[in-house]
């Protein structure tokens, strides 16, 4: 099915709204974490400030990486909405079969090595303290559940598209 330029533009606008909301949540989380860290209000588990420092650094790094990636996507989409040629390039880049295949292989490989990465992360957290190890383990469980939720969401979207086409 060939998509018109207006259909692609509408899709990019919808995705841009989602990415902007994500960026706002990430920035809000970074600000809240910064305020908690600066005011020494970040709860120190068992009165161990090293653990709070570790958690604050870990979360700050996590939010910073997510923020940079999200802002980069927003810039690309805004640029594409201003210029038809950029919109076509963005659409071609996102629907390139080789790129999609590589992304699937990377995701598959990452999921296969995720248990080993989890063990390494938990041991690295254990070097800081029991609470840090528990925090890293909880983060990994949360990310695994988020991955499962995204997978279910995408599958439901494909089912909906198939039902509409039928």
Q: Is the model's pLDDT at 136 over the cut of 80? A: no
Q: Determine the average pLDDT of the residues in 122-142.
A: 78
Query: Which of the given ranges, 6-20, 94-108, 128-142, has the highest pLDDT on average?
Result: 6-20
CB proximity list for 81: less than 8 A, separation 6 or greater: 9, 12, 13, 16, 87
Of 44 and 98, the one with more pLDDT: 98
- Residue 1's pLDDT is 41
pLDDT at 111: 79
Torsion angle of C-alpha atoms 24, 25, 28, 33, degrees rounded to 10:
-150
Burial 59-88 (b: 16+ CB within 10 A, else e): beebbeebbeebbebbebbeebeeeeeebe
Q: Give per-residue pLDDT as tens, 52-76.
A: 777 778 888 889 999 999 999 999 9
More confident residue, 40 or 105: 105
What is the overall mean pLDDT for the chain? Answer: 83
Confidence band of 17 (pLDDT split at 50, 70, 90): very high
> Residue 92 — pLDDT band, cuts 50, 70, 90?
confident
pLDDT at 25 over 90: yes
pLDDT at residue 112, as a whole number? 82
**Tell me, what's the pLDDT at 46?**
57
Average pLDDT, stretch 9-24?
A: 93
């Amino acid at each position: 099915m060939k998509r018109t330029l207006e259909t692609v533009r509408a899709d990019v606008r919808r995705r841009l709204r989602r990415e902007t909301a994500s960026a706002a949540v990430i920035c809000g989380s970074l600000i809240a974490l910064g305020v908690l860290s600066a005011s020494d209000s970040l709860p120190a588990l068992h009165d161990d400030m090293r653990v709070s420092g570790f958690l604050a650094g870990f979360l700050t790094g996590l939010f910073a990486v997510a923020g940079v990636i999200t802002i980069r996507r927003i810039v690309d989409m805004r640029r594409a909405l201003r210029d038809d040629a950029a919109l076509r390039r963005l659409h071609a880049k996102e629907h390139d079969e080789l790129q999609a295949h590589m992304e699937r292989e990377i995701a598959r490989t990452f999921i296969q090595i995720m248990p080993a990465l989890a063990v390494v992360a938990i041991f690295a957290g254990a070097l800081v303290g029991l609470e840090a190890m528990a925090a890293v383990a909880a983060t990994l469980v949360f990310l695994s559940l988020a991955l499962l939720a995204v997978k279910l969401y995408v599958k439901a979207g494909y089912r909906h598209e198939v039902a509409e086409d039928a």
